[in-house]
Amino acid sequence: MTTTQALLRTVRKGWLPPPDLNVSTFADQELVVTTGPLAGTHWQTAFAPYQRGILDAFHKPGVEIAVVMGSSQWGKTSCAVCVVAFHVAHDPCPILIVEPTVDPMAKDFAKNRLDPVIAASPLLRETVSKRRAKDASNTTLAKTFRGGSLSIGGANSAASLAARSIRLLVLDEVDRYPPELPGEGSTLAIAFKRTAAYRRRRRILMLSSPTLKGAPIDVWFHRGDQRRYHVPCPSCGVMHPFQWKQVHWTHDDPATARLHCPACDYTIDDAERVAILAHGQWIPDCPERADKSVVSFHVWEAYSPLSSLAEIVTSFLRARVAQKAGDRSEMHTWQNTTLGEPIELDQGDGVEPHVLLMRREAYSEGVDIPDGGCVLTMGVDTQDDRLEALVIAWGPGEESWIVDRQTLPGDPEGPEPWTMLDELLVREYRHALGFRLAIRATCVDSAGHRTTFVYDYARRKAARRVFAIIGRDGQRPIVSSPSPRRWGREQREVPLYTIGTDAAKSLIVSRLSLTEKGPGFVHMPHAEWADEELAAQLTSERLVTVWSKGIPSQVWRKVRPRNEMLDAFVYAVGALRLIHPNLPVVAAQLAAMAGTATVQPLPRQAAPSPPPQSRRIARSGYLGR
Instruction: Give me the CATH number covering residue 300.
Output: 3.40.50.300
- Sorting pLDDT into bands at 50, 70 and 90, what band is 19? low
**Which of the listed residues 311, 326, 345 is the one where a domain comes to its end?**
311
Same domain, 278 and 388: no
pTM, two decimals, is 0.64
pLDDT tens figures, 537-563: 998 888 877 655 445 667 888 877 888
Give the model's pLDDT for residue 76: 93
Residue 490 backbone dihedrals phi, psi, to 5 degrees = -95, 15
Same domain, 307 and 368: no
- Sorting pLDDT into bands at 50, 70 and 90, what band is 164? confident
Is 426 domain-assigned?
Answer: yes
Residue 405, C-beta contacts closer than 8 angstroms, at least 6 positions apart: 389, 390, 391, 529, 530, 534, 565
- Sorting pLDDT into bands at 50, 70 and 90, what band is 237? very high
Q: Are β-strands 400-409 and 522-523 bridged in parallel, bridged antiparallel, or unpaired?
A: parallel
- Sorting pLDDT into bands at 50, 70 and 90, what band is 624? very low
Give the model's pLDDT for residue 605: 38
Residue 254 backbone dihedrals phi, psi, to 5 degrees = -60, -25
Give the model's pLDDT for residue 146: 86
Residue 373 lies in domain: 362-526+568-598
Q: Does residue 133 register a pLDDT over 60?
A: no
536 or 617, which is more confident: 536
Residue 449 neighbours by CB distance under 10 Å: 12
Mean pLDDT over each residue of the chain, to the nearest integer: 86
Q: Are β-strands 375-382 and 428-430 bridged in parallel, bridged antiparallel, or unpaired?
A: unpaired
Same domain, 110 and 228: yes
How many structural domains comprise the chain?
A: 2
Q: Are 270 and 308 in contact (CB under 8 A)?
A: yes
**How many whole angstroms separate alpha carbon 381 and alpha carbon 403?**
16
Same domain, 226 and 116: yes
Strands (E), 217-311: 227-232, 239-241, 247-250, 253-260, 267-268, 281-284, 294-299
132 or 381, which is more confident: 381
Is 551 domain-assigned?
Answer: no
Min mean pLDDT across 129-133, 213-217, 281-285, 566-570 is at 129-133
Same domain, 283 and 185: yes
Give the model's pLDDT for residue 616: 31
**Which of the listed residues 284, 311, 338 is the one where a domain comes to its end?**
311
Give the model's pLDDT for residue 17: 63
Listing DSSP states for 26-90 in one string gives HHHHH-B--SSTTTTSBP-GGGSTTHHHHHTGGGSTT--EEEEEE-SSS-HHHHHHHHHHHHHHH
What are the distances in angstroms from CA 369 to CA 45, 137, 573? 61, 68, 17
Q: Does residue 369 register a pLDDT over 90?
A: yes
Same domain, 585 and 438: yes
Q: Does residue 57 register a pLDDT over 60?
A: yes
pLDDT tens figures, 299-331: 999 999 999 999 999 999 998 888 777 677 788
Q: Are 546 and 212 in contact (CB under 8 A)?
A: no
73 or 402, which is more confident: 402
Same domain, 273 and 389: no
Min mean pLDDT across 182-186, 414-418, 452-456, 580-584 is at 182-186
Element (H, E) at 329: helix 329-334
Is 259 domain-assigned?
Answer: yes
- Sorting pLDDT into bands at 50, 70 and 90, what band is 137? low
Give the model's pLDDT for residue 597: 44
Give the model's pLDDT for residue 380: 96
Q: Does residue 610 register a pLDDT over 80?
A: no
Is 354 domain-assigned?
Answer: no
Residue type, 564: E
Same domain, 380 and 488: yes
Is 316 domain-assigned?
Answer: no
How confident is the model over 267-276, as a mean pLDDT?
96
**Which of the listed residues 295, 311, 327 is the one where a domain comes to its end?**
311
- Sorting pLDDT into bands at 50, 70 and 90, what band is 29? very high
CATH of the domain at 427: 3.30.420.40
Same domain, 276 and 372: no
Which of 46, 219, 181 minimizes the C-alpha distance to 100? 181
How confident is the model over 484-489, as a mean pLDDT?
59
Q: Does residue 602 register a pLDDT over 50?
A: no
Residue 424, C-beta contacts closer than 8 angstroms, at least 6 positions apart: 378, 389, 391, 406, 408, 439, 608
Is 177 domain-assigned?
Answer: yes
- % of the chain exceeding 70 in pLDDT: 87
612 or 353, which is more confident: 353
Q: Does residue 150 register a pLDDT over 80?
A: yes
Same domain, 405 and 295: no
Element (H, E) at 217: helix 216-223
Q: Does residue 489 register a pLDDT over 70?
A: no
Give the model's pLDDT for residue 550: 46
Same domain, 306 and 374: no
**How many whole angstroms separate alpha carbon 593 and alpha carbon 589?**
6
Is 331 domain-assigned?
Answer: no
Q: Does residue 94 register a pLDDT over 70?
A: yes
Give the model's pLDDT for residue 52: 96
Same domain, 185 and 297: yes
3-class SS at 560? coil
Is 479 domain-assigned?
Answer: yes
How confident is the model over 442-466, as a mean pLDDT?
91
How confident is the model over 158-177, as a mean pLDDT?
87
Give the model's pLDDT for residue 129: 72
Give the model's pLDDT for residue 7: 67
Give the model's pLDDT for residue 178: 81
